[in-house]
Amino acid sequence: MKHQDLINACLPDWQTYITHPFVMKLADGSLDRQCFLHYLKQDFLFLKQYARAYALAIYKSNSLSDMRKALPAVNTLLDGEINHHVTYCKNWGLTETDLEAEDEDFGTVAYTRYVLDAGMSGDLVTLYAALAPCSIGYAEIGRYLINHENTKVEDNEFASWIELYSGDEFQKSIQESTEHFDQLLAEIPLDSQRGQQLINVFRTATRMEVAFWQQGLDANKQIDDRDKQ
């Protein structure tokens, strides 16, 4: 099987993830700033756990070659993506220490600990199946947005996000890790029990991504409710 089989097996969930209203509003700049900030703070916490999950991929590797392939992701996360979030939040007066002190929202805990548990109780391929919606999905969203007619990269305060995920560096690193994932999947038949188990893991993580967008959109409601109390 290939990674595309995993996507095909959960296409409705996948489409909801890629074209979620949060994403489309971010692209045209109409997203509520509080929703974006809430999302970004939670994503900072998400990425911290995600870096642990890639460190777990090194631990779960049997070959040196697999170990070497997992290492750049740890570096890219700690130096690239997380720094983008920290820099963006700095504009709003939030430091890295503030971000680390934020409470994790339920969707953040659920998604990250699901990925870590899938990896700890399973093998390297299972762990990558749990990680794949995140990496492959954001790369697809980056390409989708940069080519979408409604996307604004000027006069859009969220443009740096679009540039990060549509940029060559992110795209290239995901392309390489996807090729590696396809190599690992090649020996697993799609209609085997193992193949179906991987589909299940991938689909669950995809549903968690949808919930993560929704958590960002719902931040508005939470703020309203708090003000009413």
Distance CA 201, CA 32 (A): 32
Comparing CB distances to ligand HMH, the nearer of 184 and 211 is 211
**CB of residue 166 vs ligand HMH: minimum separation in angstroms?**
12
Please say whether the beta carbons of 107 and 39 come within 8 A: no
Respond yes or no: is residue 10 known to be catalytic: no
Respond yes or no: is residue 102 known to be catalytic: no
Would the CA dihedral through 43, 148, 33, 93 be positive or negative?
positive
User: Which residues in the 1-40 window bind ligand HMH by CB under 6 A?
Assistant: none
Distance CA 88, CA 40 (A): 9
Angle at 169 between CA 163 and CA 175, to 5 degrees: 110
Helix runs in 61-167, H state only: 64-76, 82-90, 96-101, 106-121, 124-146, 159-166
**Binding-residue pattern over the window 41 to 80 for ligand HMH, x denoting contact by CB under 6 A:** --x--xx---------------------------------
Comparing CB distances to ligand HMH, the nearer of 9 and 134 is 134
**CB of residue 139 vs ligand HMH: minimum separation in angstroms?**
8
Q: Which residues bind ligand HMH (CB under 6 A)?
A: 43, 46-47, 81, 134, 138, 209, 212
Catalytic residues: 134, 209
